[in-house]
Each structure stands twice: as C-alpha cells, then as structure tokens.
Chains A and B, each alone.
Chain A
Amino acid sequence: MAKHEYSYYPGCSSQSGASSSNLMRSVNSMCEELDVKLNEIPDWNCCSASIGYGSGSVLPRVSLSARNIALSEEANPGQDIVATCAACWLSTKEASERLHEDEGMFKDVNTALAEANLKLNNNTPVRHMAEVLIEDIGFDALAEGVKKPLEGVKIAGYVGCQTNRPFGIAGESFENPKYLDKLVSSLGGDAIESYEKKVQCCGGALAFSEPEKSQEMIHGIIEAAYDNGADMIVTPCPLCQANVEIYQDEINARYNSKFEMPVVYYSQLISVAYGRNSKDAALDGQLIKAKKLEEIAG
C-alpha cells in the first residue's frame, strides 16, 4: 500500500492532449517517487473555473463542484480530494465551504444532485497538491529523497493568484508566500526570494479576452524574473504556466523584448531532482525548453 492516498481531481487542462498535460505527466512521476497514490474521481466534470460566472450563476456553479465531491465520496470514501489545478482547487474548496455555511444552498444543491442520482454529504477536505507536499510529506522528507540536486539553477517562484488567494497554504502570507522558495531550496536549487512578482496576476482567463491588458502584466512577470537573474520560473498553476510561457513570442513582438524564459511546474523540478529523465518529467512539454533541467535529467 502506498504511503499516502488521495482522491484525485485532475481537471480539464490536465487531460491527455490538453494544455497542461505536462503537469499531469510530471505529477504522475513525482507521485511514484513520493509513494503517493492518486485515485482519480470517476467521471469528474469541469468546475467552470472562475470565468464561467457570467452564464453559470451561483447555484449551477456550486452544483458542478458538488457533483465532483459527491462522486469522490461515493468512489473514494474517507480520502481527501486533491487537485493540482488552482482553479479546480479554488472552485471545489469554495463550494464545499459555502455549502457548510449555507444550509439553504446545501439543500438546493442536493435537490439538483438528485437529478443525477447523487447525494452530497460534504465531509471531505479539499486540498491542493502543494499542501500534500508541505503538510503531509514536508520539506525535510522531500530533501532526503533528492538524488540529483538542482545545483546552480536560479529559480523564480511564481505562486500566482488562486493557489495563494483566498485560501492559500496554512502559515503562509498572501503577500509574500515562501513555500515555493523553500521547495526549490529543498531540491538543492537557488531560490530567488526577492522575486517581487511572485503573486502578480497574469490575467487568468482574461489573457484570452483581453490579451493586451494581460500581456502587459505577463511582461512584468517575465521581466522581473530576468532582472533577478533567474534561469527559469516555477509555478504551481496551469493557467499561470500557460499564460507566462506561451505568449512570449507575442510579447516580444509587442514590447520589442527578447524573452525566452522557461516556465516549469514544481512537479517537474521534483521529478528531475528525484532522478527521473526528461520525458518522465515532461520537459518535452515545454514550448521554451528548460535546458538547465534537461542537462541535469540527462
């Protein structure tokens, strides 16, 4: 039996062929190394992220998350739900908290769920993979398993918004969370603690609808990484990763810059530091290659 076992909510962007399939692949490798077993919630649905609010108002949106929690309680009873996507985690945890506080809404949601022959008990903690790493495994234990320290790699920890607010990680501040830096240090890398854009918004879904406004923010996020001497940015959030990595060509054209800053996931850092090869760490999923990680992975 695995040391840790969770009910896993991967989310739409983590499916095969989707924009953060590299997150999913590296999370799988990381979990193998850390003896973590992830039991996918059967038939999970989209949480509607944050941007779904315009057409999906409160009750439909909360029902979407409630369905996932109900399915998890049915198939993986007693297991905490763990999400790897910031929006998935936020929506599910927010729904769970609202349904604890609002009895009327809890009743309404169960009326809606009955249409799908489901019932919500809502006694399942909803957690982020970062919490699993920090609280259930711990930085010391993480450091112990390192086979290939990320020596000499300067990494800017970009926490972003929704992994950090409004819930965040226990014991961390909203304005200057330090867990990504601690994680990088545990893996033997050089954490850039003075990275001032660590909680700057990348525009989220507005990167699609308001590209100019969002790219102005993304430009600042990348520029600050360069100013701090970073070799790469690391983030826990799939949308942060995509927004900051994939528009660099467009940003270069718009701002006459020459950005080529790799943006990786914490799970890729851990996979490499634990001795996995480039493919297992999903480094082939980068649009901008993380060469220093590839060199270590071999």
Chain B
Amino acid sequence: MSLNTAMVEKYRNNFLQEVAGNVEEGDWVKMCMQCGVCAGSCPLGNAWEHTPQKLFMMIRANKRDEVLTSDSMWMCTSCYNCIVRCPRELPITHIMHGLATYAKKLGLAPQSNPTQWFSETFWNNMMKKGRVNELKLGLSLYFKDGFVSGIKESIAHQKLGMNMMKAKRMAPMEIMGGHGVKDLSGLQKMIKKAQDIEAERLEANSK
C-alpha cells in the first residue's frame, strides 16, 4: 500500500488530524481564526488559487485532495509577512512549506509547477557538493524543458550571463565541479540519517 493510501485509510475523514500529526507546524492549523490577514499580506496573493486562510478552512472541511494537489503552497516566496502579521501567531510560512513537502512525500505535488521543480533541483544541486553550484543551477533552469528550448533560453539570457562573468559574479570553471565541502561523505551520511528518522516516523504514523 502506498504511503498516501495508508494515510487516507488511517485518518479517514479527519484531515485536520492528519495535518496536525504529519505536517510541519500542522498542529497550529486549528488555531486559525479566519481573519484573512495572511491572504491580504501575501506579495503573490493574487497568484494563489487558495490563500493560506482558505487552505486552513479547507483542511478543516476535509478537502484533502484539493489541498494536497494544489499549487497554491508552491507560490510561497518565504517572505514571512504572514508570520509577523498573524494575530494568532501561526507560523504560516512554515505550515505552507510543510503542506508542500508533505504533498511531495505522498506523491501528490503538482509535477508541472515550476517552483516544485526548482525546489527539488536546488536541493539536489546543493547535496552533490554540500554547497550550491550557481552556474549548474542556472543551466538546469534554462534546460528544464529539453535541449532545444535550453539553447533558446541560453541565447535569450546570453547578455546577462556575459555581464555576470565580466563582474566576476559567475565563474565558467564552476562547470568542472566548483566549490564544495571537504567532508562530503559525513554531510551526506548526516542527511541520510535525518531523512531516515523522518521517514520511519511518517511510516509509523500511517499505521
């Protein structure tokens, strides 16, 4: 049974409880008083199909699929406006990240959402050397939709790239490897351990 099916089976009709038990800071959702300050404070508010305020109500109303498959949480720019303005001090930014991450772990995150894709690409890029390789990150962005469109994108951004190189803020040699940590194996083992601890807990929660 997939993790998603197991969670549905376990929390049947109580999505609020599922969120409280499995989503980062999810136990705060019940504290939302529906004032809408988060929705009005979000810099990309108009791009969210469901604002945080609405997502919180949808969680209580058991709209599980609508919430977890939504691309709304992926519109979060991590500006922390909602956090500092929420009268009830809900850590909204973290809950949005948490919902997005949880949806991804269950295989429900919208594959076509560019931020979902970028977030994963960023993480994988960073884990290779322990530090971000900006050049490779930029190139993966340009070549995200295949080789031909990648070449087109690269040409479109050629001037920007040249200017960055001239200002010594982009180094072509980074393509050969670039900056990284010395104890890469220690770092990777540490992350593996942290991921295992979380995965075991999630698995146990689904039973």
Contact B164 A19 (CB under 8 A): yes
Question: Which among B2-10, B50-58, B59-67, B73-81 touches the partner chain?
Answer: B73-81
Does B37 make an interface contact (CB < 8 A)? no
Min CB gap A13→B, angstroms: 7
Does B44 make an interface contact (CB < 8 A)? yes
Min CB gap B116→A, angstroms: 6
Q: A54-B100, A57-B24, A213-B47 are in contact. Are A19 and B193 (CB under 8 A)?
A: no
A49 and chain B: residue at smallest CB distance: B122
Min CB gap B83→A, angstroms: 5
A173 and chain B: residue at smallest CB distance: B84
Q: A52-B126, A205-B122, A287-B167 are in contact. Are A59 and B115 (CB under 8 A)?
A: no
Interface membership of chain B positions 167-201, coded 1 if the CB is closer than 8 angstroms to chain A and 0 otherwise: 11111011000010111001101111111011000
Q: In the docked arrangement, what's the CA distance between A57 and B24, Å?
A: 8
List of B residues within 8 angstroms of A19 by Cβ: 134, 164, 169-170
Q: Which one of B114, B116, B118, B130 lies within 8 Å of A45 (CB-CB)?
A: B130
List of B residues within 8 angstroms of A56 by Cβ: 123, 191
Interface membership of chain A positions 42-86, coded 1 if the CB is closer than 8 angstroms to chain B and 0 otherwise: 011110111111111111101110010000000000000000000
List of A residues within 8 angstroms of B114 by Cβ: 209-210
List of A residues within 8 angstroms of B109 by Cβ: 54
Min CB gap A106→B, angstroms: 13
List of B residues within 8 angstroms of A35 by Cβ: none
Does B203 make an interface contact (CB < 8 A)? no
Does B119 make an interface contact (CB < 8 A)? yes
Question: Which among A26-34, A112-120, A126-134, A139-147 touches the partner chain?
Answer: A112-120
Does B97 make an interface contact (CB < 8 A)? yes
Beta-carbon contacts under 8 Å, B91-128 to A: 93, 97-98, 100-101, 104-105, 109, 114-120, 122-124, 126
Interface size on B, residues (CB 8 A): 64
Q: Which one of A57, A58, A113, A206 lies within 8 Å of B44 (CB-CB)?
A: A206
Q: In the docked arrangement, what's the CA distance between A247 and B156, Å?
A: 12
How many of chain A's residues touch chain B, expressed as a range? 35 or more
Contact A200 B43 (CB under 8 A): yes
Q: In the docked arrangement, what's the CA distance between A118 and B77, Å?
A: 32
List of A residues within 8 angstroms of B115 by Cβ: 51, 54, 205-206, 209-210
Does B32 make an interface contact (CB < 8 A)? no
Does A246 make an interface contact (CB < 8 A)? yes
Does B205 make an interface contact (CB < 8 A)? no
Does B163 make an interface contact (CB < 8 A)? yes
Contact B78 A51 (CB under 8 A): yes
Does B131 make an interface contact (CB < 8 A)? yes
Q: In the docked arrangement, what's the CA distance between A246 and B179, Å?
A: 23
Q: Which one of A16, A59, A213 lies within 8 Å of B194 (CB-CB)?
A: A59
Q: Which one of A45, A52, A109, A217 lies within 8 Å of B43 (CB-CB)?
A: A217
Min CB gap A169→B, angstroms: 13
Q: In the docked arrangement, what's the CA distance between A246 and B80, Å?
A: 24
Q: Which one of B104, B187, B191 lies within 8 Å of A54 (CB-CB)?
A: B104
List of B residues within 8 angstroms of A217 by Cβ: 43-44
Known contacts A52-B122, A67-B190, A117-B186; can you find 7 more A-B pairs with CB under 8 A? A17-B173, A18-B134, A46-B131, A54-B104, A201-B81, A204-B77, A286-B167
27 contacts between A and B (CB under 8 A): A12-B131, A19-B169, A21-B169, A46-B131, A48-B122, A49-B132, A52-B123, A53-B97, A53-B119, A54-B101, A57-B98, A58-B24, A58-B101, A112-B193, A112-B197, A116-B183, A161-B81, A162-B78, A165-B84, A174-B84, A206-B44, A217-B43, A250-B160, A285-B167, A285-B168, A287-B164, A287-B167
Spell out A's residues near B (CB within 8 Å): 12-13, 15-22, 43-46, 48-60, 62-64, 67, 108-109, 111-118, 161-162, 165-166, 174, 200-201, 203-206, 208-210, 213-214, 217, 246-247, 249-250, 284-287
Spell out B's residues near A (CB within 8 Å): 24, 43-44, 47, 74-75, 77-81, 83-85, 93, 97-98, 100-101, 104-105, 109, 114-120, 122-124, 126, 130-132, 134, 141, 159-160, 163-164, 167-171, 173-174, 179, 181-183, 186-187, 189-195, 197-198
